[in-house]
Amino acid sequence: MTESRSLSVKAVLLFCVAAAPLVIQAQGPVPELPVSPITPKVKTACLECHDSGIIVQQRLNRKMWGREVDKMVRWGALVDAVDQDAFVNYFVANFGSEKPPAAPQYKFRVDVGKPKKHD
């Protein structure tokens, strides 16, 4: 490995180590899904592949939620055919296009302290 390439690799590694605390701080708590009779099935089907944050940030109308549920079923979500309408109703009631935007899921914080003295 050439000296310049070695320096580039070291610079990337240093950046990753320095940025890790910022990435860790950026991750906030996962939002809870609203409770309803269908919530346990929604959690089982949807949270198998992604966290609830992807759901609660959406604001879709009935047709769009229907397409989303159909797509997830095609991609492998385990949703009984008899429950698909209930899923769509749940999503429209809680995350419909007329609902206000979701609160930001993650809050970023950067601590900037006094520079450390190096002896």
Q: Which amino acid is at 90?
A: Y
pTM: 0.66
Asked, for residue 105, whether it belongs to a domain, the answer is: no
Asked, for residue 70, whether it belongs to a domain, the answer is: yes
Number of structural domains in the chain: 1
Residue span of the structural domain in which 82 resides: 39-95
CA distance 111 to 89: 43
Asked, for residue 103, whether it belongs to a domain, the answer is: no
How many CB atoms are located within 10 Å of the residue 70 CB?
Answer: 14
Per residue in 28-72, pLDDT (tens digit) is 678 899 999 999 999 999 999 999 999 999 999 999 999 999 999
Residue 102 has what pLDDT? 78
For residue 79, give the CATH number of its domain.
1.10.760
What are residue 60's DSSP bridge partners?
A: 96
Is the separation of the CB atoms in 77 and 42 below 8 Å?
no
Neighbour-count burial of 90, counting CB atoms closer than 10 A to its CB (0-12 exposed, 13-18 middle, 19+ buried): buried
